[in-house]
Structure 1
Amino acid sequence: MKHNIYIYILVMFAVTYLIRVLPLTLIRKEIKNKTIRSFLYYVPYVTLAVMTFPAIMEATNSPLAGLAALIVGIILAWCGRSLFQVAVLSCVVVFVLELFL
């Protein structure tokens, strides 16, 4: 059986298009439910976290170095440090731990 790549591309296009267009066409008025609004507000942050956390753990040779950098980054961000300081200090933690692990 010969596979036609154009059919695959067409199906992927249709699915992607429907996912993006259906909410716009079906929901015309403002969403007033606080639960749904809260859920939709956090969707981008959850998506970013789901993509970022596994990459942090697998970016180093030792997952412990990635975990330590993640913990240091969370603590520094919680204490109100700037994004630049958090990034630099997390990289320093990974660099130092990779030397010893």
Structure 2
Amino acid sequence: MIVIIIIGMSLVTMIPRIIPAFVVEKLQFKPWVNRWLGAIPYAALGALIFPGILWVVPNEPIIGIIGGLVAIILASLGLNVVFAVIGAITTVFLLTM
């Protein structure tokens, strides 16, 4: 019985993740929709990281804010999210030395 429940839960989880991969390839979005979808990783990154920016160095929130500004500048230049994060981490590291 447990095996059937585990298989059922895996199918219920897997199907909604696989279907969009096949459907999205066939859809043609308008340019503004593509721009909006392209901005989602940066928006999610900002929502997850912003609280940590203010507390990266206790009692010195300006260091985190400067690191966040570096990330914003790198992201606005069109760099990959990974490079924006690495730039912010490097900036904070150099400011705390």
Q: TM-score, normalised by structure 1?
A: 0.48
Structure number, greater radius of gyration: 1
Q: TM-score, normalised by structure 2?
A: 0.49
| Structure possessing the higher relative contact order (Cα contacts under 8 Å, 6 or more residues apart) | 1
